[in-house]
Structure 1
Amino acid sequence: MDRCVVLVDAGYLLGAAASLLAGEPMRSQISVDHAALIRGLRERAEADTGCDLLRIYWFDGAPDRVPQPEHRRLRVMPRVTVRLGALTRSDGRWAQKGVDAAMHAELTELARNRACSDIVLVTGDGDLLPGLMSAKEHGVAVHLWAVQAADGDYNQSEDLVAEADERRVLDRSWITEAVRATEPSGAYPPRSASRPEIAAILSAPLPESAKNGSAPVPPVPPHPAAPVPPSAASAPPASETADDAAAAEAEGEEGEPADSGRSTTGVPTPKDLAGLGRPAPPQPGHGTPPGATLRWSSERGWVERGTPGESQEVAALPMLAQLTTAEQRWADREEDITAVSGDPFEVGQVFARRWQERLSSPGHVQILAREYPRIPHRIDGELLRYAARFGLLAHKDDQIDEHDRYAIRAGFWREVDAPVAGQTGQTGQTGQAGQPGQTVPDEDASVAEQ
């Protein structure tokens, strides 16, 4: 039958493209327009073989074989079938399992059933050599495509190259029609200068090695619009108090000096920044304000915790699920598959945009803004569960990576910042949302417990 089939080893194609364009075989270094890439593969395959395309098979790995955002977009494209192997982490590296076996099985099955006359293989793995030879024995012409190697040499198995009927190299000009090297990850540029204190935290570098509480928090001047309580004038600076407490705790009972290896400088963590300007929570045994409880969401319903929590006004803020109709839920799912890339910052923006658009009262946004930089627990848990759909979980312990949480919440506040900044600009009031800081990540709570 005069039809062609394309079998794509996504790990090879995108890894080689990253090496060519970014100098490293890491897919995080490139951005891919999958629609343009599929279109380019189809046009090139039909031109090279002189046959109409039957189907493009996209073979890739995914943690627990759960489709990632790119897989969800690919599998709804016409003439595209996604086959997923497992993606496992060993010794700090990700490795695909089962992808080669799946490609071998598909290759031999297509040839045995005479489903096509030409097969295009986009791979460099010599493990496919038996399948390639079997396809040739069944009368199928095998075209082997390579991605231009960064060093000008081969990046394919020599035996595979020798056995192929036809060979083509996808050069840089062809690759760049659908693949681009990403800019070095850095600060998120502020959208608006109307609230420089938020722009400052969003443009701050991500914390690298500092953990919550391990780095001192630099003193931050109060917001110009926020009055300073008289008691604050005579109180010692917050940074001195924090340093004294840390030193006293480190000395211990025998007066030993603090660990000399402890870091004394570094980027303040979100938890450090969120504590600025907020009263310290009462310690166990020192009493708790009457009626103050912290509510945490879980799969088992509401669980009361004996620590100070949110005001009733904040706890009553509606969750996105309560604001979403069945029709909107289907539309959201379609948008997630076709338009949302899965970038953590973008995920936070999309969630915040939907939440704001569906609110019945604009006052809810003002209530939320007064909690800045802390996202109310119910909404924050829902946000992280939404982000987990895009493969942002660290599958070892079912927690979202610290840097991803930082970016997710930064994106959330960036989206909230636009309407709030416009409203405060008209009224001349900023409220507590003007305090510098960042959303507090719950380091010890898994997404299921948020």
Structure 2
Amino acid sequence: MDRCVVLVDAGYLLGAAASLLVGESARSRIEVDHAELIRRLRERAERETGLPLLRIYWFDAAYERRPTPDQRRLRVLPRVTVRLGALTRAEGRWVQKGVDAAMHAELSELARNRACADVVLVTGDGDLLPGMTAAKDYGVAVHLWAVQAADGDFNQSEDLVAEADERRVLDREWITGAITVREEPPPAPAYCATDEAGPEVVPHLLPPPADAGTGPAEEKHRIPTPKEIAAALSRPPAHPASQLRWTSEQRPAANAADGASPGDALPTLAVLTTAEQRWADREEDITSVGGDPSEVGQVFARRWVARLGDESRLTPLLAEYPRIPHRLDAELLRYAARFGLLTHKDEQIDEHDRYAIRAGFWHEISTHAHAEPPR
């Protein structure tokens, strides 16, 4: 068929771009406009091959193969198919498994079925050499694209370069059209969780521990652990926002005797959702929800309030702000886990995600209640 296909090894493309722009291959150091990157890949592929694009295959890895927010946004873009390998921890670092094998299989199938006349490979891994050779044997022209190497280094297998029919370099100017250096955020105030939901709807500041001024700087600007939050809450409040309780299990003191509160009587989203609504929710999750932690909290709260019906029933919930009833909070976090949030990162649960998810929930609740949550 007179069409072209682009196969992208995301680990290579984004890692090499990070090396070029910041001197290290950490993808966390760069900001990627994925829609613009896909547009630029498509335009360049069609221009250099002289053929219309069939599809861009994006090969990447994810923890437990659960797509990240970026991967979710990518897979709903036109003419983009995302293939995920596993992200596992080995010898103290994260490594991807199955990505090379998936690229090899896809390349061989496309060539064998004559689905395209030209294929563009954005990779540097020599393990793809057999697939490249097989594609050429089926009559497919292979274009190999490299990311401009940092400091003159060579970042592709020499065997791949030798076997390719055409080779092009994506230079710094091309890369920075869609990939930029991520700005380092300024140090947050001690024990402050950022509200990504928008205006100052949810208070965040917690009083630091008594010895906060004696530790290293990085210790004073980290997110507190649940135990540290509980310890802070046990002290007399030095600031109104010190009432913050992110742990849904902590019951209000007035109800400690019976272990329940009025908010615990509110129904969960699952109870309020019909089978038809459940199907529609999944469709929306796949096609519309990007997976940003704050966005996930807002989407969950919006559905729950809409199905709750009478917004006056929010009164018991608002009275317990910022505690979310335990069953509802557990359901909220399970929902967030679908988007790859709250997974283990460097052997720890990502507390930033928890803060943002719950902040998004309260932001949406306060909008429907037409008032800021009680402080």
TM, length-normalised to structure 2? 0.78
Shift of 1:319: 1.9
Q: Note if 1:153 corresponds to 2:169.
A: no
User: Which residue is equivalent to 1:2?
Assistant: 2
Structure 2 vs 1, CA of residues 205 and 364 (structure 1 numbering), >3 Å: closer, same or farther?
A: farther
Shift of 1:144: 0.9
| Separation of aligned partners in 2, 1:372 and 1:210 | 17
- 1:345 equivalent among 279, 282, 294: 294
Aligned residue type for 2:354:
R
> Does the CA-based 8 Å contact 1:392-1:400 persist in structure 2?
no
User: Which residue is equivalent to 2:83?
Assistant: 83
> Does the CA-based 8 Å contact 2:61-2:87 persist in structure 1?
yes
| Separation of aligned partners in 1, 2:29 and 2:159 | 30
- 1:315 equivalent among 257, 264, 282: 264
User: Which residue is equivalent to 1:188?
Assistant: 194
Aligned residue type for 1:188:
T
User: Which residue is equivalent to 1:402?
Assistant: 351
Q: Note if 1:413 corresponds to 2:346.
A: no
Aligned residue type for 1:423:
A
Shift of 1:20: 3.8
Shift of 1:368: 1.0
Aligned residue type for 2:333:
L
User: Which residue is equivalent to 2:314?
Assistant: 365
Shift of 1:48: 0.5
Deviations 1:120-163 (A, max 9, x none): 00111121123223333443221111223344533222332233
1:107-186 aligned within 5 A:
107-184=107-184
| Separation of aligned partners in 1, 2:135 and 2:173 | 31
Aligned residue type for 1:184:
E
User: Which residue is equivalent to 1:101?
Assistant: 101
Identity of matched residues, %: 65
Q: Secondary structure at the match of 1:423?
A: coil
Alignment RMSD: 3.6
Q: How many residues align?
A: 351
Aligned residue type for 1:156:
Q
Q: Secondary structure at the match of 1:381?
A: helix
1:35-434 aligned within 5 A:
35-184=35-184, 188=194, 191-192=198-199, 198=203, 200=205, 206-207=222-223, 211-212=227-228, 219-221=236-238, 223=240, 270=246, 278=253, 281=256, 289=257, 292=258, 308=259, 310-311=260-261, 313-394=262-343, 401-420=350-369, 422-423=370-371, 433-434=374-375
Q: Secondary structure at the match of 1:198?
A: coil
Q: Does 1 or 2 have the higher relative contact order (CA < 8 Å, sep 6+)?
A: 2
Aligned residue type for 1:349:
Q
Consecutive unaligned residues of structure 2, counting only runs of 5 or more, are 207-219
| Separation of aligned partners in 1, 2:325 and 2:163 | 61
> Does the CA-based 8 Å contact 1:83-1:102 persist in structure 2?
yes
Structure 2 vs 1, CA of residues 211 and 199 (structure 1 numbering), >3 Å: closer, same or farther?
A: closer
Aligned residue type for 1:198:
P
Shift of 1:180: 4.2
Shift of 1:377: 1.0
| Separation of aligned partners in 2, 1:183 and 1:338 | 29
Q: Secondary structure at the match of 2:144?
A: strand
| Separation of aligned partners in 2, 1:395 and 1:210 | 16
User: Which residue is equivalent to 1:235?
Assistant: none
| Separation of aligned partners in 1, 2:150 and 2:308 | 51
Structure 2 vs 1, CA of residues 31 and 213 (structure 1 numbering), >3 Å: closer, same or farther?
A: closer
| Separation of aligned partners in 1, 2:34 and 2:101 | 24
Structure 2 vs 1, CA of residues 189 and 135 (structure 1 numbering), >3 Å: closer, same or farther?
A: same
| Separation of aligned partners in 2, 1:73 and 1:361 | 34
Q: Secondary structure at the match of 2:203?
A: helix
Q: Secondary structure at the match of 1:321?
A: helix
| Separation of aligned partners in 2, 1:66 and 1:122 | 23
Deviations 1:392-417 (A, max 9, x none): 24369x99533322332232223334
Aligned residue type for 1:55:
R
Q: Secondary structure at the match of 2:96?
A: strand
Structure 2 vs 1, CA of residues 172 and 347 (structure 1 numbering), >3 Å: closer, same or farther?
A: farther
Aligned residue type for 2:153:
D
> Does the CA-based 8 Å contact 1:210-1:269 persist in structure 2?
no
Consecutive unaligned residues of structure 1, counting only runs of 5 or more, are 225-237, 239-267, 282-288, 293-307, 425-429, 435-450
Shift of 1:383: 0.1
Deviations 1:359-390 (A, max 9, x none): 32222223212112211011101101100100
Deviations 1:230-264 (A, max 9, x none): xxxxxxxx9xxxxxxxxxxxxxxxxxxxxxxxxxx
| Separation of aligned partners in 1, 2:266 and 2:368 | 17
1:8-19 aligned within 5 A:
8-19=8-19
